Every structure is written in C-alpha cells, then in structure tokens.
Amino acid sequence: MTTRIDRAFAAAKAANRPAFVTYLMGGDPDLATSQAILNALPQAGADVIELGLPFSDPMADGVVIQMAGQRALKAGQTLLGVLGMVEEFRRKDENTPIVLMGYYNPIYSFGVEKFLATAKEAGVDGLIIVDLPAEEDNELCIPALKAGINFIRLTTPTTDDKRLPVVLENTSGFVYYVSMTGITGAAIKSRAAVGEAVSRIKAHTNLPVAVGFGIKTAEDAAEIGKHADGIVVGTVLVDAVAKTLVDGKATDKTVSAVRELVADIAAGVKRART
Amino acid sequence: MDGINSLRNGPDEHGRFGIYGGRFVAETLMPLILDLEKEYRAAKVDPAYQAEIKNLATHYTGRPSPLYYAERLSKHLGGAKVWFKREELNHTGSHKINNCLGQILLAKRMGKTRIIAETGAGQHGVATATVCAKFDLPCTIFMGATDVERQMPNVLRMKMLGAEVRPVTAGAGTLKDAMNEALRDWVTNVENTYYLIGTAAGPHPYPEMVRDFQSVIGTELKEQFRELEGKLPDAVVACVGGGSNAIGTFHAFLDDPEVAIYGAEAAGHGIDIENGHAASMTGGRPGVLHGNRTYLLQDKDGQILEGHSISAGLDYPGVGPEHSYLHDSKRVTYVPITDNEALEAFQLCTKMEGIIPALESAHGLAQVIKLAPTLGTDKSVVLCLSGRGDKDVESVGKYLGLLK
C-alpha cells in the first residue's frame, strides 16, 4: 500500500525534480493565520509539509524557530490544536502529506497511544521527533509504525557508515539528512559534501533522501536538489512570517509573504535537474 | 558488584534507572555520547586514570573533606547530633570540583580541545573554568542572564580564570535556558568540543558518570563517621537541584536501610504556587527534557515551566534520573523547603557555627533543622554542606534589608 509520502516523492521523481518539503510552525503567530498559511502551501508549490509542534525548550533549533514556537505558545497553541489544524487541512486536501516535527515531551505528556490514534484520525502521515534517536525506538517509533504513521529519522554528518544501518532500521517515509552539525537556521559549509553524504546514505537505503538545514534560496534549492530526492526549507519561511508581524501580530502581508517565498523557491526546485 | 536486590546497580545498559534516564538527544550527538560511554568504561577500570583522580583530589581539591560535629547547632536544636560533611572547604568552594576533575581528564583522553558547560549559581562554572585553566583548555560557560546578575562574584571568578561567560537571555534566563544553549553549541561544535555537564542529569552516561565522581562524598563520610562514632549515621541529608551532591552523598548508603535519606528540594514561594517553586519531584510529573526522562515541572500540555528558587543552583525544572527512581522506590524522602526556610537556616548556621553556607546547602540544613529535634540525642544526622555562601552574601543582604 502506498502512502501519501510515497506518492509525493514518486510524483516529484516522475517530473525529474526533487520534492519540495516546507516547514511551518503550527500556530505561529496565531491559529487562524497559521491555518491559512498551511492551506496555501500546496498551491504555492509544496509537495510535503512539515508542521512544527511548538515546544518550550527546542534544543536543536536556532533562534528563528525558537521565537516562532514562543509566539505559537503565547497564542495558546497546544498539541491538540496542531492536530486540529491537520484535520481542517484534510477537509480540502487529501493528497499532500503532513509530517509533524517537534520534541517528545508534549507527546509523552499527552500519552503516546492516544496521540497516535488522534494523529492518524486527523490525517497525519509522519513524525520527525528530534530528541528520539534510534536507541529510544520503543518510545514512539515502533508504536507509530504499528499505527500506520511513518517515523522519519534524521541522519547527520556524524552518522557514520557503521551507525547508518542502526539509524535506518526503523526509518520509513523518507530519510532526512541534516546538512551540517548545527541547529536550524545556520549556513551550509560545503554543498559538495552534502552531495557525497546523500550518495553514502542512498547506498544503505531505497528510501528517498531529503536534505534540510541551511537551504535558504531558490539557488540553494536548485543546487542541493541536483542530488537529493527532496529539499527541506524551514527557517527562511518562518522568518518570512516574523518579518510581516507588527507587535507580534499577523498583518495582511503575513500569508502572502510565505506563499510568495514558497513559490520562488519552488521555481529553484523545478530547475534543479535541467 | 552489589547484590541483585541492590539499589546501587543502576543504570542498566540503556542508561535507565527504572523508567528514568535514557538517551533522548538529537542524532548529531548520539555517536559522541556512545563514544563517551565507551571511553568512560575504559577509564573507569584504568588504574592510571583512577590514580590521577586520587592524586588531584588529595593535592588540588584538598580531600578528604572534614566531617565536622556542629555542636552549638546540635544543642540549640535539642535533638540528634548534627554533622556537616564539609564539601564547601574543597578548592573552588563546593563539591563541583570532584566531578570537573574526573571529566576534564576524560576530555583529555578523548582528545577534545574545547570545553563548554552550563551553570546556575556559578559554582559549576567556576569549577569548570578552574580545571580548564589548570589543563590549558579554552572554555565557554553558558549562564542565564538572571543568574549572571544574582551571582556576580562567581561571574568575575570565571572571567579571571580565563573562561568566556555567555549570558543566555532566552526564557527566564536561568539554568534550564543555559543548558538549552549549551546543547545548541555542542550540536554545532560536536567535533572538537566536550560538554562538561555539572549535575547528575542529561543523557546517559552523564548521570552515572557524575554520580561516580561525586560518590567520594558518601564513601568518605561513611568511613569518617564509623571512625568517629563506630556506627552508621541515622540520617543523611542533602539539597537537590539537579542532584549531584545529593546522589554523591546518598549512593554509599542506599543499601543501608537503617540510614534514613532526605533530599531537600527548592519549594521557592511555596509548593502550591504554580511556577513559584523548583520542586520537580514534589510538584512535577515524569517527562523528557535535556536528554533524560525524569520528574519535571511542566504544564498540562507538556511545556516545561521555569520554576523559581531563591537559590540559582536549585532553580531547575528537572532533577537527575536516579533521584526520580529513588523517589518512586521511596528509598529517599524528598521534602520541599521554601525560600524563607532556607534563609533562616542560612542565618542560623552563620551565627551559630561561623560557617556561611551556600543558599543551596541551606535548603538541606533547613531539613536538618526540622528533623534533628524529632530524634533522640543518641542519634546523628549528617548534612552535605555542599558549598560555601560567599557568592550569596549580596543577595541575602538584599533580602534582609542590609543593602539599599
């Protein structure tokens, strides 16, 4: 049985381009605006959507995503609220996969089984939980697979050939290669090294490999997208939201700013292999 | 090796103490943490490494630290004899140096060329800056901006020792935020950087490692007490923030059921005031943060609370995982101590014994003050006096209205 994630990567491959994965923080700066951004993403060119679960202590994130999480929490966002956004999105879009990205504690606090059932029901396709490495697979990864939700693992420059099989063992959907040792929002040091790393990972798995961290422009997307099956863009989109805010509140430019930037980078994605 | 029913066997191979502990970190850090564990296992059984620790403990730290009978305080309280294990007399003024020496030698073995650390009260920051000076390694200390302000003497000490102190403004600017920022730095500079965690928390193997380095406290105490009194103490008491001095004090006594064990948590303004205290076991529930599962202060949605304590060293929403395990198993009794109770204990100790305790240690003392009068004069209670209070005289002076 193919999943929405499988189909999205297959469709991009058939079009001879990488899949475009976009990130937004669920509930930033408020629920209604965030929902409007989410709903607009597929039309603007997103193939896969990562929806951030806000957390008080995002240890792997740079300041841009930290602040977005703070805005969402301040506006009253909760785990259930983010799942509600997915449910709402699914009323109009049955095809675009949604992957929740965040940290474990809010899920653990909610209850793993209850969370998985609610997420599946809402139309969630995958999870990226930053602080759950392979060593902790029994916590959420294995239960998620049983519930029919993909568990997408991060691999990093420090994940060597010896460790890759451990990391890939229970990974499904796609593999997320983190282009650098660092936090979200930092800059890629070497594009060539990223290409080599993607080939190295592909020698170990048939899953698509998406590259994230440090992709900020259409040019970056076109360049990195030559070798990767997908490219992930997060911080610049979150920053686009932040730049339109007045006193922390959304303005009439907020949704369009993200939509335009996504469309711009999508053009880079499309020319990656031409 | 202890017996099968021993409470001293943890953690298991997954770094768990019961359900607590573990390795909840980003993949970038996983290879390093596995490496660290391997290196620590090798060092633990290396006689040369152990001999170097012993040598430094004797000639650099000044161990063994004395076990002192607080006679005036005991008579004043009118019950059990009160003893202090004088960790505040160690070089740098607290127990923190015990752990820093062990870890810096490990960092050297691993060929790391840069040290980072988080600090709350600044005691761990000072101890880290000290060992980095001695071993000629550059070091960066992350410290919450609020703590930088209330622990200025320690900030100055760190700077003079050659450390870079980075104030962290995120959140409430306390220990939790400093730890987040240290983790971000570590993820970025994982290649050459060693993260010298100061408390018995974080991802495996840190809780085990820090406990091992601090266990010298309880091991010495047990021997010293036996030599002086010919028996075991009836109770041992220590303050618990992350809980490194406490686990170091408790560990030698876990399998001695006749010894009652108390950990004093920071109850701040009071345990009933939401976000007004830092008592994670009395007022929190299990969750996952900073690499381990443990009791945490959190809201109903699993967002971490900042917590509050007058003491910067206890102002942390979590606690070491082994304490969570000992709390559930009821081997250790964790009690909440308010800011005011700690302040009173601080003053009593200063006036009666001529010893100015750290505000952290004053929380433990406040529990001793409650406990001793309930026991007979033939009983003995030992407090781990984990740090000296020089760093706190300004903030206590403000509370008492001695400073404008």
Q: What CATH topology corresponds to B96-210?
A: Rossmann fold (3.40.50)
pLDDT tens for A198-235 read 999 999 999 999 999 999 999 999 999 999 999 999 99
**Residues A116, A122, A126, A129: is their CA dihedral positive or negative?**
negative
pLDDT tens for B153-169 read 899 999 999 999 999 99
ipTM of this complex: 0.95
Considering only residues A81 and B274, tell me which one the structure prediction assigns the higher pLDDT: A81
pLDDT at position B150: 81
Q: Where in chain B is the domain with CATH 3.40.50.1100?
A: 62-93+215-399, 96-210
Tokens standing for A195? Answer: 């290409």
| Domains of chain A by start residue, with CATH | 4-270 (3.20.20.70)
Sheet with A48-52, side-by-side order of all strands: A150-151, A126-129, A98-102, A48-52, A19-25, A230-233, A209-212, A175-178, A154-155
Contacts of B304 in chain A (CB under 8 A): 56-57, 105
Yes or no: say if B288 and A108 are a contact pair by the CB < 8 Å rule.
yes
Yes or no: say if A72 and A28 are a contact pair by the CB < 8 Å rule.
yes
The three-point CA angle B181-B182-B186 to 5° equals 115
Q: Do B289 and A110 touch (CB under 8 A)?
A: no
* Reported confidence tier of residue B254, pLDDT bands at 50, 70, 90: very high
pLDDT tens for B363-388 read 999 999 999 999 999 999 999 999 99
Pairwise CA distance, residues A239 & A250, whole Å: 13
> In the predicted model, what is the mean pLDDT of chain B?
95
Pairwise CA distance, residues A151 & B404, whole Å: 58
Buried b (16+ CB within 10 A) or exposed e, B51-72: ebbeebbeebbebbbebbebee
| Mean pLDDT on B158-182 | 92
| B174: CB partners within 8 A, 6+ apart | B120, B144, B146, B147, B306, B307, B312, B315, B316
Active-site residue, A50 included: yes
The three-point CA angle B389-B391-B397 to 5° equals 80
Q: Which of A53, A55, A57 to mutate to test the interface with B (most CBs of B within 10 A)?
A: A57
- Supply the pTM of this predicted model: 0.96
Least confident of B147-151, B232-236, B320-324: B147-151
Residue A44 C-alpha, separation from nearest chain B C-alpha, in angstroms: 31
Q: What CATH topology corresponds to B62-93+215-399?
A: Rossmann fold (3.40.50)
* Reported confidence tier of residue B307, pLDDT bands at 50, 70, 90: confident
Residue B292 C-alpha, separation from nearest chain A C-alpha, in angstroms: 10
pLDDT at position A1: 66
Residue B172 scores a pLDDT above 80: no
| Mean pLDDT on A189-196 | 86
pLDDT at position A190: 81
Tokens standing for B64? Answer: 């063994």
Q: Which of A63, A104, A137, A158 to mutate to test the interface with B (most CBs of B within 10 A)?
A: A158
What is the phi/psi pair of residue A129, to 5°?
-115, 110
Pairwise CA distance, residues B2 & A243, whole Å: 60
Which residues does B contribute to its contact with A (CB < 8 Å)? Answer: 14, 22-32, 170-171, 176, 180, 183-184, 187-191, 287-291, 293, 296, 298, 300-304
Nearest to A176 by CA among A131, A213, A135, A223: A213
Pairwise CA distance, residues B15 & B24, whole Å: 11
| A97: CB partners within 8 A, 6+ apart | A3, A4, A5, A7, A8, A48, A49, A125, A126
| Mean pLDDT on B217-238 | 98
Residue B340 scores a pLDDT above 90: yes
Active-site residue, A61 included: yes
H/E stretch holding B7: none
Residue B1 scores a pLDDT above 50: no
Tokens standing for B158? Answer: 């760190």
Active-site residue, B118 included: yes
Yes or no: say if B336 and B265 are a contact pair by the CB < 8 Å rule.
yes
